[in-house]
């Protein structure tokens, strides 16, 4: 009798665990389905600098002698680092939460790919809300400015509006979700629209 009770309890526990696992997988699949309904757009770009010089200073003509030295040194050393924080709006128009487990991204400047990366952070995109997903982007722009130098740099810097967006800058993303230990990615990159 005692053995039958132990086997019965073990069976019930296994069934409950299986139901819990199936429920969790179903919830994750629903989160992925809801992610497919989300709308992505580029909110803004902050902390934009080229070779350590704030791009707004270049655009406004408020460039100091030290900034000129930094830019000149970068060009001579053939390393012109671009750093920026890119904020992506993810709008969930559904009445159920969506889940973003990770996101591959690619940054294009003047229609050429300059940087790629992966954001490995989980985001819960709440139903009927917009969430911000920040990306820290860094790349080298030497090849972009190596032919015309300072003139192209100034033209690139002046392409940025007050919210940090630029007609020269495009972002593509490929969101993914983890379901039952397996990573499921969007089949193609999504071109992010600018608002």
The answer to whether 34 touches 179, Cβ cutoff 8 Å, is: no
Condensed to tens digits (0 to 9), the pLDDT of residues 50-62 reads 889 888 777 777 7
- CA terminus-to-terminus distance, the chain: 70
Whether the per-residue pLDDT at 103 is higher than 60: the answer is yes
Residue 16's pLDDT is 46
Residue 113 scores a pLDDT above 50: yes
Residue-wise pLDDT tens digits, 82-95: 999 999 999 999 99
pLDDT score recorded for residue 7: 36
**Sequence ranges of the domains in the chain:** 2-194
Per-residue pLDDT band for 12 (boundaries 50, 70, 90) equals very low
Please tell me the distance from the alpha carbon of residue 43 to that of residue 91, in angstroms, as a whole number: 11
- Quote the pLDDT of residue 87: 92
Distances (CA, A) of 92 to 25, 35, 37, 60, 106: 20, 7, 7, 37, 22
- Per-residue pLDDT reduced to its tens digit, 168-186: 888 999 988 777 777 778 7
* pLDDT at 152 (0 to 100): 75
**Please, are residues 83 and 53 in contact by the beta-carbon 8 Å criterion?**
no
| Cut 0.85: pTM above it | no
Task: State pLDDT tens for residues 35-52.
Answer: 788 899 989 888 989 889
């Amino acid at each position: 009798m005692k053995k039958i009770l132990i086997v019965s309890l073990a069976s019930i526990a296994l069934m409950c665990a299986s139901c819990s696992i199936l429920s969790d997988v179903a919830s994750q699949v629903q989160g992925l389905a809801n992610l497919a309904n989300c709308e992505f757009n580029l909110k803004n770009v902050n902390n934009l600098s080229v070779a350590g010089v704030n791009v707004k200073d270049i655009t406004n003509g408020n460039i100091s002698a030290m900034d000129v030295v930094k830019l000149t040194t970068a060009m001579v050393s053939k390393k012109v680092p671009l750093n920026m924080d890119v904020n992506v709006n993810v709008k969930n128009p559904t009445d159920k939460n969506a889940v973003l487990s990770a996101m591959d991204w690619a940054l294009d400047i003047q229609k050429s790919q300059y940087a790629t990366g992966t954001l490995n952070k989980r985001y819960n995109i709440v139903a009927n809300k917009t969430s911000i997903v920040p990306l820290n982007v860094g790349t080298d722009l030497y090849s972009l400015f190596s032919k015309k130098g300072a003139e192209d740099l100034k033209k690139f810097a002046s392409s940025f509006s007050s919210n940090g967006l630029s007609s020269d800058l495009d972002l593509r993303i490929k969101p993914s979700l983890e379901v039952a230990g397996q990573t499921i990615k969007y089949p193609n990159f999504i071109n992010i629209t600018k608002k």
